[in-house]
Amino acid sequence: MMMLEPITFSGLRGTLSRQMSLAKFTSWRTGGKGDTVYLPADRDDLAAFMRQLPADEPLTALGLGSNTLVRDGGVRGAVVVLHDPGAALAIADGLIYVDAGVACPKLARFAALHACAEAEFLAGVPGTVGGALAMNAGCYGGETWRYVVRVEVVDRDGRFVVRTPSDYAIAYRSVKRHGGAPIDGIFTAAWFRFPAGDAVAARARIKELLARRIATQPLGMPNAGSVFRNPDGDYAAHLIESCGLKGYTIGGARVSEKHANFIVNPSGEASAADIEALIVHVRHTVRARTGVDLEPEVRIIGEKLASDSISAGAQAI
Ligand SMILES: Cc1cc2nc3c(=O)[nH]c(=O)nc-3n(C[C@H](O)[C@H](O)[C@H](O)COP(=O)(O)OP(=O)(O)OC[C@H]3O[C@@H](n4cnc5c(N)ncnc54)[C@H](O)[C@@H]3O)c2cc1C
C-alpha cells in the first residue's frame, strides 16, 4: 500500500500526534486511531492549524467524546480534540462567555455561583460546551440553545465568524444550517444568557439532578449516555426494556441493566464493532417487535476494520 506523506505544519503551539488511538478521547473508551490528532493550545492556535490544513483533508471535531463511537478502523484525516480544562469562562452584565473546550458541568457550576438559574441541567452532561452546541444537548427540561445568545465558529480557512441562533435550524438533539447542511467549522466559544436566580437554590438543584443520575444511570462503566433519541410520545429506554433487551450482550458490549438506553463497556474490552453490532441488534429488535424505528443519538465515525464485515455487526444501522 502506498503511504501518503503526512501533512507538515509549522508554528503550532498545541500537541500534534500521528496515528494516535482515539479510545482515550471517548467515554466508551474504545475505537481506532486518528491519522492526525491535534489538541490546540487555544482558539488562535486552532485557527492556525485550520489555515494549514489542505481543503480536501477530512476534518473531525471531538470534545470529550461522550456522544461518539469511533470505529475500530479509525478516522482518516485530521481530528481536532477541543477539551481544555483551563479554558476561559467569564461573566459581564449577566452574559456568560465560555470557550467551547470547557466541560458543561463547569459551566453549570459557574452559572450557579453567579446566581444564574436554569443552567443546572448542564451539570450532568459530561461533554464540552462545543459538543453541547453541536448536539443541542439537553435534559430535565433544559436545552443548550435555548440560552445561547451567540457563538463563535472557526471555519475551514481559519477565520472566526460570529453567528446567532437564527443562523441555525435547531431541534431536539439536532443543529444544522438552514437547508439541512451540517454545521460548517468548529465552535470555539459561546455567549449564554440564563435568567437571574438564586445561587443557593441553583447549587441545591445541581445536587438533586446529579443524585437522580447516580440512581438511574450506569455511571461506573464506560458508556455514551443515551444511545437512541426518544421517539415522539415514548422513551427509547421503555421500548428497549419492553423487548427484553436489558443485559443483552455482544462481545464486550452490554445493554445496561440499570438504564436500557445505555450500552456499557463493563470490562473496558468491548470493540467499537461490538458496540455497533449491539446498536444494530437493538434497533432491529425494537423495530420488529414494536414497529418503532429508533434513531441513534450517538455519532458513529470512522472506518470499520475489514474483519468487521464478517462479524455480527454486518447488518446496516
Ligand atoms: C453518562 C452520560 C450522560 C449523558 N447525558 C446526556 C444528557 O442528559 N443529555 C444530552 O443531551 N446528552 C447526554 N449525554 C451525551 C453527551 O454528553 C452530549 O451529547 C454532549 O453534548 C457531547 O459533548 P462532547 O464534547 O462529549 O461531544 P463529542 O462526543 O466529542 O462530539 C459529539 C458531536 O459534536 C461534535 N463536536 C464536538 N465538539 C465540537 C465543536 N467544538 N464544534 C463543532 N462540533 C463539535 C462532534 O464532531 C460530534 O459530532 C450523556 C453522555 C454520558 C456519557
The residue whose C-alpha atom lies closest to atom 41 belonging to ligand 1 is 130
Whether 121 contacts 132, CB under 8 Å = no
Please list the alpha-helical segments (H only) found in 123-242: 129-135, 199-216, 236-242
Q: Sheet containing 75-81: which strands, arranged edge to edge?
A: 15-21, 33-39, 75-81, 59-62
The residue whose C-alpha atom lies closest to atom 9 belonging to ligand 1 is 138
Query: Is the pTM for the entire model greater than 0.75?
Result: yes
The number of beta carbons lying within 10 Å of the beta carbon of residue 201 is 13
Query: How many whole angstroms from its chain centre is CA 40?
Result: 18
User: 81 vs 20, 51, 130, 301, CA distance in Å?
Assistant: 12, 16, 10, 14
Active-site residue, 173 included: yes
Active-site residue, 226 included: yes
For residue 143, report the distance from its CA to the centre of ligand 1, in Å.
13
For residue 104, report the distance from its CA to the centre of ligand 1, in Å.
10
**pLDDT tens for the chain, residues 1 to 317:** 455 677 899 999 999 999 999 999 999 999 999 999 999 999 999 999 999 999 999 999 999 999 999 999 999 999 999 999 888 999 999 999 999 999 999 999 999 999 999 999 999 999 999 999 999 999 999 999 999 999 999 999 999 999 999 999 999 999 999 999 999 899 999 999 999 999 999 999 999 999 999 999 999 999 999 999 999 999 999 999 999 999 999 999 999 999 999 999 999 999 999 999 999 999 999 999 999 999 999 999 999 998 875 454 445 66
